[in-house]
Amino acid sequence: MNYQHPSRQICILLCSSRHVVELTKFGFVFAILAIILLGYILKVMNVVKVESANVLSRLVLYLFLPATIFSAFANVKINFEPLYVLFFAMGSFMAFVGYLAGYLVTKMISLPLRTQGTLIIACGAMNIGLFVFPFFIAFLGLEGLVYAVIFDLGQAPFIYFIAVLIAKEYSRRADIAEMKRVASSGMKRFIANPLIWSILGGLAVNLSGLSVIYTIFEPLLKLISNATVPLILILLGIFIEPKVERGKAILSIILIRFLLSFFIALLFVLVTGISGRPRLTIFAVSMVPSAILTLVYSTEEGLDTKFAASAVSVTILLGIFVTSAIFILLS
């Protein structure tokens, strides 16, 4: 009979557990990629059209995602800490740097005015809710969303105010009266943002001790939340259009959205000394594709829609692999 020292048995157990964890990570990534591919195949086969996807994206933004975020904030143990403020500030700072860098690029590359507007928005507007949230839910569960949601809130003023003003300016529709209207409509959009209300509702239930109310609706919320990830991933597949318009301009967006963002996130980690879930979060939410709103605003204001679609698609494709690598290495 072979005798193994207890320490060796423990080592074997730990090693096998580590391999199981690694396999589980790759399993999650494979599942995510498979569902995104399914969305793309459905579009290619004309089962779902992009116009239908726009309706589906509104359902996700106004029903499925808010229900998921409400559940996260209603359940997670909340300890108000300075990191929450830092993550909100980083969301704003990252967006500001993106828009500024995009503006500087337009001074170095010769582009039509309408394409310039689209490029600036694509560099600054980050696709967090409809891209990176599914990774957090799949790898970390609902509790993994908290820091990511707070970061996303930090960029919200830029999405609803600055991006719209840029779109107006570069379509030559911006006068004083129009800017006032944009400010008013932007404020309404910001206040009516379902993600904000889902956070406030979840916090109210969590901090007031009204868990009985949540328990009543928990089965319904779980049912809705379970559909959130596959719906978002299918949407991503539908929006992918592997066609590059204006290669140099697209490359500049990639460098800003991924490389510049990486260095800013790395500097933040080194300065604050954060580790674990906050460190994973800051890298994951910083290095994301251009927001789908880039295409929405470009369409509404008569900017370069082909370039917008190309920017969103290419950065989504690259983002899938970048974000997968981040979660495999850091989760």
Q: What is the pLDDT of residues 132-149, one digit of tens each?
A: 988 888 888 777 788 998
C-alpha to C-alpha distance for 231 and 223, rounded to whole angstroms: 13
Quick one: average pLDDT of 291-320? Answer: 88
Structure tokens at 38: 């399914």
Considering the domain 47-330 in this protein, what is its CATH number?
A: 1.20.1530.20
% of the chain residues with pLDDT over 70: 88
Please tell me the least confidently modeled range out of 158-162, 193-197, 254-258, 314-318.
193-197
Q: Could you give the angle at which helices 293-301 and 305-330 cross, rounded to 10 degrees? A: 170
Quick one: average pLDDT of 199-221? Answer: 80
Task: Kindly tell me if the per-residue pLDDT of 117 is higher than 90.
Answer: yes
Q: How far out from the chain centre does Cα 170 lie?
A: 25
pTM score:
0.81
Nearest to 151 by CA among 213, 201, 199: 199
- pLDDT class of 9 with cuts at 50, 70, 90: very low
Q: How far is CA 164 from CA 38, 212, 303, in A?
A: 32, 41, 12
Please tell me the least confidently modeled range out of 20-24, 86-90, 91-95, 198-202.
20-24
Sign of the CA dihedral 94, 330, 222, 232? positive
Structure tokens at 17: 């557990």
Quick one: average pLDDT of 15-27? Answer: 55
Please tell me the least confidently modeled range out of 12-21, 35-44, 199-208.
12-21
C-alpha to C-alpha distance for 318 and 309, rounded to whole angstroms: 14
Task: Kindly tell me if the per-residue pLDDT of 116 is higher than 60.
Answer: yes
Nearest to 238 by CA among 37, 62, 29, 33: 37
Amino acid occupying residue 314: V
What is residue 291's DSSP assignment? P
- pLDDT class of 174 with cuts at 50, 70, 90: low
Task: Kindly tell me if the per-residue pLDDT of 78 is higher than 80.
Answer: no
- Name the 3-class secondary structure at 78: coil
Residue 76 CB-density burial (10 A; 0-12 exposed, 13-18 middle, 19+ buried): middle
C-alpha to C-alpha distance for 12 and 29, rounded to whole angstroms: 26
Q: What pLDDT is recorded for position 214?
A: 74
The residue ranking higher by pLDDT, 177 or 227, is: 227
Task: Kindly tell me if the per-residue pLDDT of 302 is higher than 80.
Answer: yes
Quick one: average pLDDT of 271-276? Answer: 92
C-alpha to C-alpha distance for 300 and 227, rounded to whole angstroms: 30
- pLDDT class of 217 with cuts at 50, 70, 90: confident
What's the distance, Cα to Cα, between the start and end of the chain in Å? 40
61, 194 contact by CB (below 8 A): yes
Strand runs labelled E in the chain: none
Q: What pLDDT is recorded for position 96?
A: 96
Task: Kindly tell me if the per-residue pLDDT of 92 is higher than 60.
Answer: yes
Q: What pLDDT is recorded for position 183?
A: 64
Q: How far is CA 279 from CA 148, 252, 255, 275, 286, in A?
A: 11, 26, 21, 5, 11
Average predicted confidence (pLDDT) for the chain:
83
Nearest to 154 by CA among 117, 184, 129: 129
